Amino acid sequence: MTTEPHGSEKDAVRQQLYELLDDTERSLVTKQRRGLELGCEYLGVANGHIQRRNDDGTDDVIASVGSNPKLFPEGMVLDRARTYCRRTVESHSPLALSNASEQGWDTDPAYEKHGLDCYLGTTIFVDGAIYGTVCFTAEAPRQSDFTADEKAFVELIARLLGRTIEAEANERRVERLDRSRRRSEAKYEALLRLAPDAIVVVDTDTGTIETANERAASLTGYSEAELRGLSILELHPEADRQRYARLFDEGFDDRIQERFDDGTPLVIERADGTTVPIELGVGRVELDDHSVILGIVRDVSERKERERELRLKERAIEESSIGITIGDATQPDTPIVYANAGFEALTGYSMGELNGENCRFLQGDETDAETVAEIRRAIDAEESIRTEILNYRANGRPFWNELTVAPVMDPESRAVTHFVGIQNDVTARKRRNRLIEVLDRVLRHNLRNDMNVVIGFSETIAARTDGELTEMASRVTETAQDLISLSNTVRGFESGVVDATQPELRDIRTVIDAAVEDLRSDYPDTEFTVLAAESMTVLATSKLTLALAELGDNAAKYGESSVRYELTTTDDGRIAVHVHDDGPGLPAIERNVLEAGRETPLEHGSGLGLWMVNWIVTNLGGSVTASVDDGTTVSIYLPTPAATEMDDVQSQSVSDRQSGGPL
């Protein structure tokens, strides 16, 4: 039997307990074990241990000290129904037994299982919920009953241990949130680097430019520093500034615009006084009480020049980079009798394949039937039409075609003899429209909401702690508030949506291993495996690592316990990377973002990561698919260097692409 300390000694033990649990240098495990030792010393008992409750009716022994290390060793799993601790929790106060067999406990399952005559335990609470119990035991009876002071001391140990465990958990939570913030920042940087055009962010109240990217500086002739603080109206001719002011006030309703209502082209006045015709997209973003205008500006000088070239004679038409076709209206089904090199480059079909065919072979499964009907009606009425239609190249890849069809009349008979078709790839413009929608949504919702969660947690931590933890929590709050402020200016927008680096040969297994290495440190409880029969080479940029890491991060975050990367090859020579998780399954809208890079105002993805994966992979000439079956499998298909070269010379026959009836 351990000798019980007297009054002054107990005061010293109590003081040691306070100092122990305030010591920031010691680990939680050390504090738990030393706290139990002090409890044994104070109470004069042989053993002490801490039980942590599980949801399945068992308790884990997470710390144990005493003269009999085999009694309740650390790591032991206890049937809670056969422990005194079950009664401890039920009693809502310390349970004290000095001689259990004589106090009527000899038939209790706990006594029958462990044979403990001496027991004093109480409940540990963490964040207001039951965490477990702290217990002090001896196999032999105690000479005297536990006093009120001794019970109070055990309650003190439980309370201080609960606070220590809570603080440790909060610190880990802050670390996870900090990692999430850093990953979010990396996503934004990657997204911004993919922006294809000049970007300016303008304060709605003052009309001054808050930030602009490098492309904006190149377009305007001002440096990025000179653009900041400059009125947006100073980038337009002085005589028309009031018209531009009204234009910005009214907005574009998320459209891309290149002219005023009266047909006057929109232009930028450069620093040297020259003007540049532009396309302008404007999105208005509201963040709390701060309103900004997001402007995406595209220099359309080259396109204007191409449009003028279309009016030149046959030689100029032949050299044009825009697709031009001529259909014979005097023959059934208006077959193509001419296609320029621009059309061949755009679609991948040669003139030899096109001769005698109708343009409907460019249509596919997702081509809008109403748009097709609208074109048919214009042709039947012998009228011009300009529209946008989803077409397909010879290799099966879709693209948005800005199509102009115009009748050509015989100067003498005034009869329509031919139709001229002008095809222009406006896929990039479509992507820019979606970019404005995605960025507006993220700035309105995702970033602000996520940072508010960070602020809420950090303020709660600050309110419940003191000392260094309070300072750390305040720092987290300040950092989150800074990030919200940073989102208002969308600084460095260009740094993410366009990867300007040139692809180079890379070992795909090395890329996967680099992504998985970081993920293992972020998700220590998730099992990551990589299955690859051999090393394979792809033509890619360093952003491929970011895409594979994002897929692994998403899989670990929403999966159960494991993530598997599998490397294979397809029958057509492409390299496939399959990322599989054991989670509940990726929602359909998220799969649509991954595969098609598309969403709607009413249905959109939960964040930027999957958009980023789509953009990175498609920019490399690859594709993405997702399937849900006992978890989610996301597959990235990348062309090999040899396949990339062959893709430039191979085409599909017209007969394989024909579908449906005539236009």
pLDDT per residue as tens digits for the range 419-465: 988 888 888 888 777 776 666 666 666 666 777 778 888 888 888 88
What local confidence, expressed as pLDDT, does residue 83 receive?
93
What local confidence, expressed as pLDDT, does residue 497 receive?
45
Pairing mode, strands 504-507 and 336-339:
unpaired
Beta partners for residue 200, in sequence order:
212, 295
Query: Nearest to residue 227, comparing CAs of 196, 185, 280, 268?
Result: 268
Pairwise pLDDT comparison (321 vs 350), residue with the higher score = 350
Residue 619 identity (one-letter amino acid): N
Please give the model's pTM, rounded to 2 decimal places: 0.35
Whether residue 60 is predicted with pLDDT greater than 70 in this model: the reply is: yes
324 contacts 340 by C-beta, under 8 angstroms:
yes
Beta partners for residue 401, in sequence order:
389, 425
Helix (H) or strand (E) holding 565: strand 562-569
Mean pLDDT (whole number) for 639-648: 60
What local confidence, expressed as pLDDT, does residue 646 receive?
43
DSSP letters, 214-248, are HHHHHHHSS-HHHHTT-BGGGGS-GGGHHHHHHHH
H helix and E strand count, the chain: 22, 24
Give the contacts of 239 (CB within 8 A, at least 6 positions apart).
none
Identify the residue whose tokens are 């980038």.
235
Assign 315 a pLDDT band (cuts: 50, 70, 90).
Answer: low
What local confidence, expressed as pLDDT, does residue 601 receive?
47
Query: Nearest to residue 607, comparing CAs of 183, 282, 295, 197?
Result: 183
What local confidence, expressed as pLDDT, does residue 489 receive?
36
Whether residue 157 is predicted with pLDDT greater than 50 in this model: the reply is: yes
296 contacts 199 by C-beta, under 8 angstroms:
yes
Q: Phi, psi (5° rounding) for residue 435?
A: -60, -45
Whether residue 268 is predicted with pLDDT greater than 50 in this model: the reply is: yes
CA distances from 358 to 75, 176, 435, 621, 654 (A): 76, 59, 34, 29, 10
Assign 284 a pLDDT band (cuts: 50, 70, 90).
Answer: confident
pLDDT per residue as tens digits for the range 212-266: 888 888 899 999 889 989 999 999 999 889 888 888 877 666 667 888 888 889 9
Assign 652 a pLDDT band (cuts: 50, 70, 90).
Answer: very low
The pair of structure tokens assigned to 257 is: 């615009």
Assign 346 a pLDDT band (cuts: 50, 70, 90).
Answer: confident
Percentage above 90 pLDDT, the chain: 27
Identify the residue whose tokens are 């031919």.
418
314 contacts 306 by C-beta, under 8 angstroms:
no
Pairwise pLDDT comparison (567 vs 533), residue with the higher score = 567
Q: Phi, psi (5° rounding) for residue 216?
A: -65, -40
328 contacts 418 by C-beta, under 8 angstroms:
yes
CA distances from 457 to 182, 448, 615 (A): 17, 14, 33
Query: Nearest to residue 149, comparing CAs of 7, 351, 328, 348?
Result: 7
Pairing mode, strands 275-287 and 267-269:
antiparallel
CA distance 377 to 657: 23
Pairing mode, strands 527-532 and 562-569:
parallel
